[in-house]
Amino acid sequence: MNFRELASKYKTPLYIYDLDYMTKQYEELKEAFKGRKSLLAYAIKSNSNLSVINHFAQMGSGADCVSIGEVRRAFLAGVPSYKIIFSGVGKSDEEIREAIEKEILYINVESEAELGRVELIAKELGANCRISIRVNPNIDPLTHPYISTGLHDNKFGVDIDSAKRMYIRANNSEHLDPVGIHFHIGSQLTELKPIYESAEIVADMVRSLQSIKIELKFFDIGGGLGVTYKDEVTIKPYDYAQAVLGTLKGLDLTIICEPGRFLTANAGYFLTKVLYEKKNGAKRFVVVDGAMNDLLRPSLYKAYHKIEAITESKSELSEADVVGPVCESGDFFAKDYMLPTLEHNDLLVVHSAGAYGFGMGSNYNTRGRSAEVAVKGGESRVIRKREEFEDLIALEKDYLVK
């Protein structure tokens, strides 16, 4: 990929997405479940650009959504209603109502209280709402605590006993149709054992429900398959699929998998320009035009991203903090990273930026978010224009108190 050319054409800071890489990842994961009824439902939260969602939709993907905004994005991007799932802990009445009216595949219910709201709203609409219940198997996913979701300490899902009560209630309701069961223990999973143990617990629950004449259709295994940022040893899709399939003997269920990071993370690059170098005593800083409002993961999670210097410099490498213009000490992309001496207008490429990058951005310090560019077959095009100052004040200027 010619980063100099892309920087010249589209300016910096800039997000770049390799759609061909996304295709390869999608096809590898889909192939892993070959021979079994399955649906890949792309987790929109990882990268919610309409062109990215549409790219997966054209390959047959569904959509895993965690807000009604994401549900609307899925529809706009061409995902059919019967492939859309609506998850999330805190759905409002308005969101639930719209999801029922749009007749999506199902709503993932995360608490007994939420089940009651879904039932009441479905009754008001005279509808029969398809639901799945998110089961929390209380398995440690062995990942970062901020992205762990499968323990009782986490806010997600319900325990096995609560889930069983909820299924019985839903099965006896005129306005609820329990069609699926769901679990998702965390993101950036690199260990197979917790996935297998969770699937085994949830599969046993499906059998328990069958014994009381509650027949489900969908076994939703969530997503979370990890990727390589630095030196992680990741799970092969085939091994992942076999671990899940090994727990489903005797069960005729459609498997739903909700990949996000696995499809997009290493397809994305964040391109930023060097403004200048500075030193505070012996401490070296490389100041760039991108900032934490563009890519928050290093500040939020202390996440590692490989950084590649595009420069003519032949100097020795030395440690430097890569920092942006935002007025926060937490505004950095890397600490003590080995880089050559850099000059004004040299470029830095932050790798593995296709997941939880742009979508977690903000306009902090009244900074416009960067443009997004897609590359496919060697050709590039803008898929989201750069925000200008007028975009940032558009929702405020007519309400200015004078």
Among all residues, which ones are annotated catalytic? 327
3-state secondary structure of 374: strand
Task: Please name which of 182, 188, 199 lies closest in space to residue 142, comparing C-alpha atoms.
Answer: 188
Q: Per-residue DSSP letters for 25-45?
A: HHHHHHHHTTTS-EEEEEEGG
Binding residues: 224, 258-261, 297, 301, 328, 356
- What are the two backbone dihedrals, phi and then psi, of residue 350, each rounded to the nearest 5 degrees? -95, 115
Q: Do 65 and 42 touch, CB atoms closer than 8 A?
A: no
Would you say 30 and 259 are in contact if contact means Cβ atoms under 8 Å apart? Answer: no
Structure tokens at 195: 């996935």
Q: How far is CA 278 from the centre of its chain?
A: 36
Closest CA to 306 of 262, 341, 339: 339
With the C-alpha atoms ordered 350, 356, 360, 363, is the resulting torsion angle positive or negative?
Answer: positive
Query: Token digits for 32?
Result: 């892993």
- Residue 202 · residue 219 · CB < 8 Å: yes
**Integer Cα distance of 62 and 84 in angstroms:** 6
> By three-state DSSP, how is residue 295 classified?
coil
DSSP characters over 65-86: ESSHHHHHHHHHTT--GGGEEE
3-state secondary structure of 96: helix
